[in-house]
Structure 1
Amino acid sequence: MEIRIGVQNVAREVVLESEQSPDEVQQQVGTALEKGTPLVLADERGHHVVIPAAVLGYIDIGSEQRGRVGFGG
């Protein structure tokens, strides 16, 4: 699933593909905002993205897309 993260005072958004469920991501975002801790997400290749909760602008959590076959999107 695709996750888009807007960071305050940064023109480009952070985009990553993750194997986490939308509920897991939403829970992590809520915890980071509540406690003021960094948001840490892993992409599908095992890379980690760390963003301080204080600079989060928005999070766009895409729906899970399973079993895509064929060309294009």
Structure 2
Amino acid sequence: METVYDWITVAIFAGLVVLFLQRSASEQPGDSLVHYLLAGVGLAFVNYLGNEENHLAAVIALVGVLAFIQWTLRPLDSAKS
């Protein structure tokens, strides 16, 4: 873990894991595993771009991944959990 992108993407991925575990333990799991997979692949791509020093592309991709997570998984929606 050498760059800021490593730390940021691992932290967001850890949040995804916690969200997945919390939602899978609920009585009515409604999330698709594909959404978590896409978010994880997106984070890996952000990390790759950041490590290759494409900072602008990495930041834009990170914002896109965060928007995807918020739009599809709705981690802050209290009614879903």
Q: Could you tell me the TM-score, scaled by structure 2's length?
A: 0.29
Bigger relative CO (Cα 8 Å, ≥ 6 apart): 1
Q: Could you tell me the TM-score, scaled by structure 1's length?
A: 0.31
More strand by percentage: 1
More helix by percentage: 2
